[in-house]
Amino acid sequence: MKIGIVGCGQVGASGAYACVLRGVGTELVLIDRNEALAQAQAEDILHATPFSTPMTVRAGTFEDLDGAGIVVIAAGAAQKTGETRLDLLKRNADIFSDIIPRIFNAAPDAVLLIASNPVDVMTQMVASIAQKSHNIHASRIIGSGTILDTARFRALLASHLGISSHSVHAYVLGEHGDSEVLHWSGALVGTIPLTNFAAQVGAVVTQQIRDQVDEGVRRAAYRIIQGKGATWFGIGAGIARLAQAVIGNENALITCSTPTFNVAEGLGPVSLSYPRIINAHGIVQTLVPEMSDGEKELLSRSAHILAEAAAEIGVDDIVEASVAA
């Protein structure tokens, strides 16, 4: 399957590189307004294929997305030191309103994977443009959402417990950002509840440990941005994992973002992350996990923050202008 990647900065390039290493797709087309960057990234990644999976990797234009089954959107302004993801809204909304119609015109049958921040509001905007301009259902618009936050959660819990992160099953729900909700009440190790497992292996999860893990997950991006300017390896791997689930028609359960109804009283659809089943058609089902009352309240708060952010920059007006154009 041909995969297009729009935006060839560190995130887009890392996603392409992870696809090559995992053997996801048969052809990668890299697109960027900086054509020299797209060409350089494509050439560099192509040189990794003899050590991983043979596939075509090339730079291209939006017209070269014709026939693509997946298009990854990693374009947009980068998050600056001290800047929240929601601060990026206005800058990246303007960029998206230009490129989304060009993608749909070239690849109307593609599943779109959104990685640009703030990913939840960007996903909501793309889904609205897709539905209104091309009659494309929101199930084919997948925001990376908390796929990375969930990975961080599992990695930190695994480190504390001294086990493989593949054996930890725990989700981060809601916003990919400051209001995200770590779903502690549903965390499992294998099929054993977290607290039970932790007690048996002598690694009790105290409130202090919970606070440390929460800080480790919630503030990870800020620390990484402070140290090296941006995050890219983790989300690059997450992009490849989502693409793999689509190409393999896996029916995989992954936390990701898409417009969601009935999250909080008084709100319309808002894009945020729940565990969702993903296959060749995109998102085919959303699972609502059992949550404590406190987690439900935090998730409702997260939904309201995202809805207010979308309203503040006028997502509906941007969508209407994009469709009219």
Catalytically active residues, by annotation: 176
In Å, what is the CA distance from 91 to each residue of 96, 118, 142, 180? 9, 10, 21, 22
Work out whether strand 70-73 and strand 111-114 pair parallel, antiparallel, or are unpaired. parallel
CA–CA gap between residue 302 and residue 86 (Å, rounded): 12
Alpha-carbon distances, residue 152 vs 17, 216, 268 (angstroms)? 20, 8, 30
Question: Cα 231 vs. chain centroid, distance in angstroms?
Answer: 13
Closest CA to 182 of 224, 142, 213, 222: 213
C-alpha to C-alpha distance for 89 and 85, rounded to whole angstroms = 7
Closest CA to 104 of 142, 68, 150: 68
CB 172 within 8 A of CB 144: no
Separation of CA 70 from chain center: 14
